[in-house]
Amino acid sequence: MRLARARPQGLVHSETVITRSESLTRRLRSLIELVLTVAVAVGLALLIQAFVVKPYRIPSGSMLPTLALGQRILVYRMDTHPGIGDVVVFHPPHGADLGSGQCANSGQGFSADGGALAGPCDQALASESQQTFVKRVVGLPGDVLRIVDGHVIRNGKQEPDAYITACGGAPECTFSRSIRVPAGDYYMMGDNRGDSDDSRYWGPVPQRYIIGVAFFTYWPLDRIGVL
């Protein structure tokens, strides 16, 4: 009768140590993969927000009825050459920082007491404001504009403006003279034509001040949709 040979105790212990070591290694590898995945995801999100799409909150009622106070929008930052009717986010000229707005052309825009002068502002102060505005493009470089009762007449044709709030006879509603938008600039106005701090006060916006075109609204939920 052959007796079974006993397995050396040291070998059992060694196998147990190897098994535990491999388990710890796998757990550590999984943790590292998770950390790297989260880091890459966060990095991509930051890059997308910085260079591609960025959310903004509407700070005023100047774009009513299209955009309400507190509404959230997404802006495509790769598009800085908007077209007529686009809703854009931008930095205004420095004139927007000065009281009720200041035009580089003293004969246009508004007087110190708030009265409308002959024409809306067609020449902005040279420097850029750090404020962020959202308005609608109503004039492209070289366009001839006239504003009558809040409606924009562009190159002899009135804009299709079913989206605006009626001006209501405010001083900024009507100007007796036309202006020409300078080369490289865009003319911006809020949809709430009687209550909007826009290009009429501080002039056209240079293309380099434009952050991007708004393309979608995601909050509140009952206003979700494309712009």
Residue 70: predicted pLDDT: 96
Q: Which of 23, 60, 135, 196 is catalytic?
A: 135
The residue annotated as part of the active site, out of 62, 129, 196, 199, is 62
Tally the residues of the chain.
227
- Residue 116: is its pLDDT beyond 70? yes
From edge to edge, which strands make up the β-sheet containing 179-180?
157-158, 151-154, 144-148, 179-180
Q: Say whether pLDDT at 118 is over 90.
A: no
Query: What are 197's two structure tokens?
Result: 């701090």
Question: Do the bridges between strand 157-158 and strand 179-180 make them parallel or antiparallel, or are there none, so unpaired?
Answer: unpaired
Confidence class of residue 110 from pLDDT cuts 50, 70 and 90? confident
Q: What is the pLDDT of residue 35?
A: 78
Question: Can you give the pLDDT at residue 55?
Answer: 95
For the chain, give the mean pLDDT: 87
Position with higher pLDDT, 26 vs 44? 26
Residue type, 179: I
Check: pTM over 0.85? Answer yes or no: no
CA-CA-CA-CA dihedral for 199, 200, 201, 206, to nearest 10 = 20
| Residue 106: active-site member | no
Residue 62 annotated to the active site: yes
Q: Residue 11: pLDDT above 50?
A: no
Model confidence over 132-187: pLDDT tens digits? Answer: 999 999 999 999 999 999 999 999 999 999 999 988 878 889 999 999 999 999 99
In 3D, which of 71, 181, 174, 183 has the Cα closest to residue 137? 181
What is the mean predicted confidence (pLDDT) over 67-71? 97
pLDDT of 40 above 90: no
Given a contact cutoff of 8 angstroms between Cβ atoms, the answer to whether 188 and 180 are in contact is no
Q: Model confidence at 22, in pLDDT bands (50, 70, 90)?
A: confident
Sign of the alpha-carbon dihedral angle for 174, 180, 182, 184? positive
The four Cα atoms 139, 142, 148, 151 give a dihedral, to 10 degrees, of -20
